Amino acid sequence: MSVLCWGRGAAGLRRVLPPCGRPVLLAKEGTLGGVCGPSRSSSASPQEQDQDRRKDWGHVELLEVLQARVRQLQAESVSEVVVNRVDVARLPERGSGDGGLQPPRKVQTGAKGASPVPCSGWTQRLEKEKQVQRMHIQQLKANLQMQVQSGEFKVLPKHLQVKPRLLSKQLATFLAPKSSWEEQLPRVLQEAPRKLSLDVGRAPSTQAQLSGQQQKLLAFFKCCLLTDHLPLAHHLLVTHHSQRQKQKLLTLDMYNTVMLGWARQGAFKELVYVLLMVKDAGLTPDLLSYAAALQCLGRQDQDAGTIERCLEQMSQEGLKLQALFTAVPLSEEEQATVLKAVHKVKPTFSLPRQPPPAVNTSKLLRDVYAKDGPVSYPKLHLPLKTLQSLFEKQLCVELASKRNTLQTLRDHWEKALCRVLQETKNRLEDEVHKGRFSLYPFLCLLDEREVARMLLEVLQGLPAPGESFTTLARELSARTFSRHVVQRQQLSGQVQALETYYRKYLHLLASDTKVPNPCLPRQYWEVLGAPEALREQPWPLPVQMELGKQLAEMLVQATQMPSSLNNPHGSSRLVPVLYHVYSFRNVQQQIGVLKPHPAYVQLRETAAEPTLTFEAVDVPMLCPPLPWTSPHTGGFLLSPTKLMRTVEGATQHQELLETCPPTALHGALDALTQLGNCAWRVNGRVLDLVLQLFQAKGCPELGVPAPPSEAPQPAEAHLPHSAAPARKAELHRELARCQKVAREMHSLRAEALYRFSLAQHLRDRVFWLPHNMDFRGRTYPCPPHFNHLGSDVARALLEFAQGRPLGPHGLDWLKIHLVNLTGFKKREPLRKRLAFAEEVMDDILDSADQPMTGRKWWMGAEEPWQTLACCMEVANAVRSSDPAAYVSHLPVHQDGSCNGLQHYAALGRDSVGAASVNLEPSDVPQDVYSGVAAQVEVFRRQDAQRGTQVAQMLEGFITRKVVKQTVMTVVYGVTRYGGRLQIEKRLRELTDFPQEFVWEASHYLVRQVFKSLQEMFSGTRAIQHWLTESARLISHMGSVVEWVTPLGIPIIQPYRLELKVKQVGGGIQSITYTHNGDISQKPNTRKQKNGFPPNFIHSLDSSHMMLTALHCYRKGLTFVSVHDCYWTHAADVTVMNQVCREQFVRLHSEPILEDLSRFLVRRFCPDPRPQKLSRCWEASQLKATLQAVPKPGAFDLERVKHSTYFFS
């Protein structure tokens, strides 16, 4: 799911407007001049006239925009604001005493000291329109006042429908019962559902299959239960059921949701009403329906006869009694109530026993979960009391709702927001009374003051250039959902239970405690019997976008400030703090942006608040994360965290995880828990140096962004009208380039500010980074701004909180790691890298002692900041009295050698390819990029001898750098077209290469690179082709590609044809988003076939990493990874290298491709059924392709265990 905003103004304007901030000068009345110059003569050629129409904007377009803007501002009770540009400095207008910014107005004649201002027709029309609207509003107010005074105006009571209108005459007889409602219940259950006509189909009830409107309705009903608005939910259900077209939208889940709400209150009459509607809709009650009925009976303490008839009917429909307690998501109290009712009929019935914890039986994980054999699970270096104290701090962080915001005007804005929120809720409640969906219950989830504070937090963090309206709406919705989940856990008592179990859990991790049976964190948490976390499904995307849009519009409407802050006690009109403009991506696509008023930005800068506000999920944790125990439990203590991050709105991934066997996910859950349990700290010395540069003017060469004030400026800001058109066009391009650079610099600067502020905040603290994974199984830290997956600077700021003595070989590994970071000796053996470190030891020590004033050797490295951090660690170690006893905290990396090709070579047992990517032992590291370049050079010589001109021109230009990017990305599905663009870019960087031959040379070279790879990696290309062709045929049959990783993680590619869904129009702007998560949409064949090979390889490298992580944890090592780059302490590199190789061999010893083939055939080639001849042929072709697994070569995988440079 991706979200794109296609903004439309209130007038529906689709033409191009100048972006905000770009100066546009008014020329003659009704035209725009300035940089574009005056309009041309009408004697121009038709081509020129057509160009003029595309370039210049005329009378009508400008009038439409200004009228739309005036209507918006009138809705906000703001009289006049400049549309195109608002400057920071006050520009006093003649006749204006408040210093406000106003468009030119007609000056009354005869006014003393007033000079005439040109007045045009559109200005007069706007003034007239405003006056008419003001008179209309005054008339309406006067009429309303007269009605109130005369007593004619009466507030009608709000009526909610309770009794449904049924289409079945047989079922309608139950609406006027002759017996009690309790006795009616079993009779209604026994009634057969109304037969539906053939053309009436019921929508599937799974989340991914529901339409956008159905998702909104289901979310509305569930939200009403949470906010105690059950009568409102029942009213909407009845009104929809009473209309044939709307009834088609209702699903059994919706009826059950309302029925469950009435069951919790013991309301028999309303429950029977809903049950009648279920039958009337042609639906059959399911387990949840019977659970609601029995719960209602249990609350009212009914006689056994009624309950017995319900249980008999349930049995006749093939529903198991025990399934009520195992397959239905009920709370403990609800289960107890149902059990109470059952015991009246079956006193001996007992709840099904909890089965013993299942154990993963995968061959790859057998050793990980083996009970026998030595284990030395690592413990944290912190004692129990310290960990418990850290837990309390993290709990406070996630429970905190009050954050620091701008104090000036804050109280006024908060009151205004609460008032606007209450008015909005009243209006939306009326919508529900009219039988229409609205956001009313969603706005009732949080206290009004809590919502107001949340909105002010977002306002405080809004950047000066503004934020996309769609992005802001999405963020506001996400924050509302997160706060709701935390609040619900507080109200349900889950926080108190969490405290109890987490304190026990810390005994497993603390350095000064022991547990009887050492085990993995997930296993220990399950043994403790901690209750399952509340399952709160994210709201459907239509609800998210509509709710976020509503909140953003409320923020715009309620926040105003004086136009002049220099004279706070004087009279000054109010202006909006936020205003809405459009930014353009191209001629047809415009993006709505909310920008803060420059006066507010100036006020915020003047206040110079020293704090930044982050959501709890955006900041590293202050205590170890919760162990992952299921797809919805783990990570942060209270804040909702997804196990699998996916494109927004997609639900099929989560449903796959929920339905797969729990044991299948144990490997992934335990690996993610292990990665998150690594404790970190900030490297203070490096941070001080980085902040020194950042607070000056930055240093882009070292990855420290410069402030936007250092952005390039155009040589000329304005041109006279007489300037040549070519010069004006050139100035436009230069202005656009400068603006683009300034925006990029601002973005980089803001990102660095977040990262460095968090680092400074966490200085001298221990923190943790909870992890989750993407849909391919690749792992990522959850906090986005400060983690070890960042840039060179971010990685240099982090080190292990728990140190380990270097031991006999640790110092050597530190030195080798240092040389690896410099990039100086990539193709040299380890002994020469170690020797080089000794040669430059003086430079290393000088860099550590005088990083900014010495010889600055570290600045010439490929990874300068990590090199500097390593220089400091080496200096400390060599200067210690006993280097072997020196406690090192620096992570040492071991990188895979073109890891994607390594997996391909292992899959195909390709001997030549294996040797090229260091699967084969060798004395020196093999460089696959140099090998491909050498092979291409062989082909070039042969072609040059045949007289091929382009081959002759390329003599001396085929280098490792020219082919590297293409070779690297071939494994990830790059096409010849993409490869040609990559090579063209490299050739253009060569100043001595004839540029007129670049296009022809890039075409020639990409063919030779692919030909070389075909010869060097024949097995790789065969497997890649098989995967691509399989995905093409699967998607052509109408399915998306699925598979299961060797560790058991279910994978599904989310690439579907996008469906544009327009959100609610009106307001500030409408929002259109693209939806590719709906499973009813056809697969995107191009993305499916191009994505399958790289995604499959990514799922293999994640499996290898997880296996390595679990086995390292079993051996007591600290281990983290950045995909195919593994980190551990210097003292443990040798052990990690051994584990890494062993697990790679074990992984590829499995029949991976054969297992994949069997799974795909079973999944996509079911038993043949009578079909069209063309479909039968396609199905047979698909099955034949899936079964044609490429034959492996003769490479011996065991040789990988002895390859020094496999990971190095």
In the block, tokens 């691509």 appear at: 1028
Find residue 680's DSSP bridge partners. Answer: 767, 800
Instruction: State how far the Cα of 556 lies from the Cα of 862, in Å rounded to an integer.
Output: 47
The active-site residue, picked from 964, 1087, 1089, 1115, is 964
Instruction: State how far the Cα of 77 lies from the Cα of 71, in Å rounded to an integer.
Output: 10
Largest CA distance in the chain: 105
On whether the CB atoms of residues 287 and 328 are closer than 8 A, the answer is: yes
Instruction: State how far the Cα of 32 lies from the Cα of 38, in Å rounded to an integer.
Output: 8
Parallel/antiparallel/unpaired status of strands 644-645 and 771-774: parallel
Alpha carbon of residue 1135 to chain centroid? 36
The reply to whether 964 belongs to the active site is: yes
Q: Residue 1202: is it exposed, middle or buried by C-beta count within 10 angstroms (0-12/13-18/19+)?
A: exposed
Instruction: State how far the Cα of 687 lies from the Cα of 763, in Å rounded to an integer.
Output: 9
Classified as helix, coil or strand, 579 is strand
Parallel/antiparallel/unpaired status of strands 1050-1052 and 892-895: unpaired
Tokens standing for 361?
């039986």
Instruction: State how far the Cα of 247 lies from the Cα of 12, in Å rounded to an integer.
Output: 33
Tokens standing for 752?
């660095």
On whether the CB atoms of residues 377 and 515 are closer than 8 A, the answer is: no
Element housing 686 (H / E): helix 684-695
Tokens standing for 219?
């979310």
Dump the DSSP string for 1140-1205.
HHHHHHHHHHS-HHHHHHHHHHHHH--S--S--HHHHHHHHHHHHHHH-PPPP----GGGGGG-TT
The reply to whether 1124 belongs to the active site is: yes
Alpha carbon of residue 159 to chain centroid? 42
Give the residue among 1107, 1088, 1182, 1115 at the shortest CA–CA distance from 1150.
1107
Instruction: State how far the Cα of 1166 lies from the Cα of 1153, in Å rounded to an integer.
Output: 20
The active-site residue, picked from 792, 927, 1124, 1132, is 1124
Q: Residue 250: is it exposed, middle or buried by C-beta count within 10 angstroms (0-12/13-18/19+)?
A: buried
Which residues lie below 8 Å from residue 34, measured CB to CB, with a gap of 6+? 23, 24, 25, 26, 27, 718
Instruction: State how far the Cα of 194 lies from the Cα of 910, in Å rounded to an integer.
Output: 64
The active-site residue, picked from 895, 943, 1183, 1201, is 895
Q: At what angle do helices 684-695 and 864-879 cross, to 10 degrees?
A: 140
Backbone dihedral region of 898: left (phi > 0), alpha (psi from -120 to 50 degrees) or beta?
Answer: left
- Helix, strand, coil percentages (3-state) for the chain, rounded to 5, are 55, 5, 40
Instruction: State how far the Cα of 854 lies from the Cα of 1040, in Å rounded to an integer.
Output: 58
Which residues lie below 8 Å from residue 154, measured CB to CB, with a gap of 6+? none
The reply to whether 430 belongs to the active site is: no
Instruction: State how far the Cα of 1188 lies from the Cα of 1026, in Å rounded to an integer.
Output: 8
Sheet of strand 590-596, all strands in order from the earlier edge strand to the far edge:
467-468, 590-596, 578-584
Classified as helix, coil or strand, 1208 is coil
Instruction: State how far the Cα of 1020 lies from the Cα of 910, in Å rounded to an integer.
Output: 8
First to last CA, the chain: 38
In the block, tokens 């400049």 appear at: 82
Element housing 1128 (H / E): strand 1125-1128
- Could you list the active site residues? 895, 964, 1124
